[in-house]
Amino acid sequence: MPIAKAAVILFAILPTRGYFRPSHAVNVRFVTGSSVLDQKAVQTGFHTANLLGKFTSPPAHSVILANGQPAFHVYTMSGKPLTARPESGAIPPGNVVDISRFFPQVKKTGTYIITWKRANPVVLETLNNPGFSPADFKNIPPQQWSALPAHQKKLIRMQFQPCVYHLVPLQYARIKTSKGIINLKFWYNVAPHTVANFIRLAQERFYNGSNFHRIIKGFMIQGGDSLSNIPGRAGTGGPGYAVVQEFNSRPMNRGVIAMARTQQVDSAGSQFFIMQNDTPSLDGQYTGFGRTIKGLRVVDKIAATPVRGPNGTVVGPKPKIISVRILPATAALYGIKQQP
């Protein structure tokens, strides 16, 4: 007689929507499930609207403790836990909770990770409009700022306040190449729009079947071109649009993935490159948006591909990008020591 397998309880944090305006509650729903289909549903249809009916609400005390403290936690991307503000009163139906009620700190510009039991963590991005980040505010010359009247200062401060809250699953990328596997984790906190663009293209299978078309040994390997399989056109393709640059202070070291671009800073689209060696001369000149966590030897194998000329044109068969998969990540993968 076969032995019955114990049911596996799946925990999930599901935002009620992907984007929230600053005036809205940042609502997420805490749910449980018990099947492989449920796990796949979380990966393919993240927001609650796509998943209602597939999950059940756990007991309220598994989300909010009797003393009003949350059973879930919020961290900065550096792994620092935020201090919760306890809340009293009844828990809303369906365990829908406004994260900002317990952690008002998330209303400030930044990137945060929400964890709960064994659920796939959720990234909360509190975003400003491009060009209106806290760093941009600090760049206003002090003499110019002090000369402004009070009402203008108030208006300018409002421009530099967060404009939206965005919730996404914490994920990593697995690039399957003809030379092996490369795993990458993302820098959500320094290049959120670039990360979102790469994830979307990967999930839509844009990269599958393309090549690494430009390789300079000791420097980097470049791929992600929609025209990389067409003779004479490799290096000229893209998704048909460009994304705003998100240059940042992360050094362009070995294993970093960054967006390729033309001389125009806002010209990146789909092409990316992975650094084989540290290259300080590129620091602050390209949008780095993640780094390799497994597969540096694969990068080295690809970098050994024969090329022609100093620009790294591949002379024979190009190393193939078989697929790029976006997979759920644990908090530990991002260096966060999760509280019990």
pLDDT digits (tens, 9 = 90+) for 140-165: 999 999 999 999 989 999 999 999 99
Given a cut of 60, whether residue 75 has pLDDT beyond it is: yes
Letter for the amino acid at 272? F
Residue 262 CB: number of other CB atoms within 10 A? 9
Residue 240 confidence (pLDDT) above 60? yes
Query: Of 216, 178, 119, 164, nearest to 17 (Cα)?
Result: 164
Q: Confidence class of residue 125 from pLDDT cuts 50, 70 and 90?
A: very high
187 and 280 in contact (C-beta within 8 Å)?
no
51 near 41, Cβ under 8 Å?
yes
Cα separation, 109 vs 135, whole angstroms: 11
Per-residue model confidence as pLDDT tens digits over 187-232: 999 999 999 999 999 999 999 999 999 999 999 999 999 888 878 7
What is the reported pTM? 0.89
Strands (DSSP E) found in 121-270: 122-127, 164-169, 171-177, 180-186, 210-216, 220-223, 256-259
Tally of residues, the chain: 340
Name all domains of the chain by residue range, CATH numbers in brackets: 10-127 (2.60.40), 134-162 (no CATH), 171-334 (2.40.100.10)
Which range among 45-49, 94-98, 233-237, 333-337 has the greatest average pLDDT?
Answer: 333-337
Residue located via tokens 């505010």: 137
Query: What are 227's two structure tokens?
Result: 């025209």
Q: For residue 79, give every residue at least 6 positions away whose Cβ sits within 8 Å of its Cβ, in sequence order, or none.
A: 334, 335, 336, 337
Backbone angles phi, psi at 327, to 5 degrees: -125, 155
DSSP-derived secondary structure letter, 280: G
Of 58-62, 116-120, 189-193, 221-225, the range with the lowest mean pLDDT is: 58-62
Question: What confidence category does residue 51 fall into, taking pLDDT thresholds of 50, 70 and 90?
Answer: low
Q: Report yes or no: 287 and 267 within 8 Å, Cβ to Cβ.
A: no
